Amino acid sequence: MRILIVYFSGTGNTARIAQLLQKEALAQDTVCEIMPMEQITLGQALPDFHAWDLIGIGFPVHAMDAPQIVYDFLKLLPKGRIAYFLYKTAGSPMLKGGSSYRIRESLSNLGWRLRHEQLYVMPPNAFGTANPRKIAKRYLQCQQLVKESISEILSGIKRLLPDPSLSSLCYQFAALEKHGAKQSSRRWTVNQNCNQCGLCVAQCPAANIHMEEGKLIFEDKCLLCLRCWWICPQRAISHSFLKPFFLKEPYCLPEL
C-alpha cells in the first residue's frame, strides 16, 4: 500500500496529525508521504494522484466546514476511481466538526471513493482556551485515534462520520466565515516590533501578504488560518476585529 497525504494546516495541528499518520503507517511497513496542500494550490507541485493506492486529505474545521483552500484544491484534482480518506481537526468536540458533505460530493462526482473518515479534536487555535493540561490530554487522545485509524485503513475497514442533520446550517455559517475572512483581510495590523524578517510573507498559504517599501500589505485572499499571527517571532501581528477571539499566545504541541 502506498499512501499520499495532502493536508492543509494553518497553525500546525493538522500537520501534526499528518506526521503521526505517516509515522504509524511507516511503522506498519507502508509507504507514506505527506505534502502541504498549498504547494498544490500555489502551483509549486502537482502529484500524480493515480500513482498512489490511497490519498489522504486533511484540513482544520473552519466554521463547521473546511477552509476555502480545500475547495480550491478540489478543483485541481483529476477524475478517476481513486481511493481516499478524509481527516479533519477541530478545536471543539461540539457539533462533531460540522459537515464534510460538499467535499465528499465533489470527490464522488470525480469518481473518487471514500474509504475512511476521522475527526481529531485537538487544542483550539482560536475561539477557546488551550492550557497545558488540555493540550496534553487531547494530544494523547489523538495519538491513540491515529493508531486506530491507520489499523482500520490498512485493514480496509470503512468508517464514515455521520453528517449532522443541520448540515445546511453549517454551510450558511461557513459561507459567512469565508466572506468574513476576505472582508477582514485588511484588518490585520502590524506594530513597530516588526523587523521585516519576511517570515509571514514567505509562509502565508494564500500568498496574501507582501512587503512594499518595508511595509506589510495584506490583500483580500485571507483564509483566516492564523498562521501569520501564530509564527511571527516578534508577536507583531494582530487583528483589529478578531483579536478578542484569539488565544493569548500560540502554543507548542508535545514533541513528535
| Residues near ligand FMN (CB under 6 A) | 9-14, 60-64, 89-92, 98, 122, 124-127, 224-226
236 contacts ligand SF4 (rule: CB under 6 A): yes
Task: List the grid coordinates of 134.
Answer: 488540555
190 contacts ligand SF4 (rule: CB under 6 A): yes
Write down the least CB distance from residue 53 to ligand FMN, Å: 25
Binds ligand SF4 by CB under 6 A, chosen from 222, 242, 247, 253 = 222
- List, in sequence order, every residue forming a beta bridge with 88; answer none if it has no partner: 59, 119
Cβ neighbours of residue 108 closer than 8 Å, sequence gap 6 or more: 114
9/208 with CB nearer ligand FMN: 9
Residue showing cell 484569539: 246
Backbone region of residue 14 per phi and psi (left: phi > 0; alpha: psi in -120 to 50; beta: other values): alpha
Write down the least CB distance from residue 49 to ligand FMN, Å: 22
Query: Whole-angstrom Cα distance, residue 187 to residue 112?
Result: 39
Binds ligand SF4 by CB under 6 A, chosen from 218, 242, 247, 251 = 218
Write down the least CB distance from residue 178 to ligand SF4, Å: 12
Partner that binds at residue 199, options ligand SF4, ligand FMN, none, CB closer than 5 to 8 Å by kind: ligand SF4
82/228 with CB nearer ligand FMN: 228
Packing angle, helices 132-154 and 13-27, rounded to 10: 40
Residue showing cell 485541481: 76
Q: Pairing between strand 54-60 and 2-7?
A: parallel
Q: Contact positions toward ligand SF4, by CB under 6 A?
A: 10, 190, 194-200, 204-206, 208-209, 216, 218, 222-228, 232, 234, 236-237
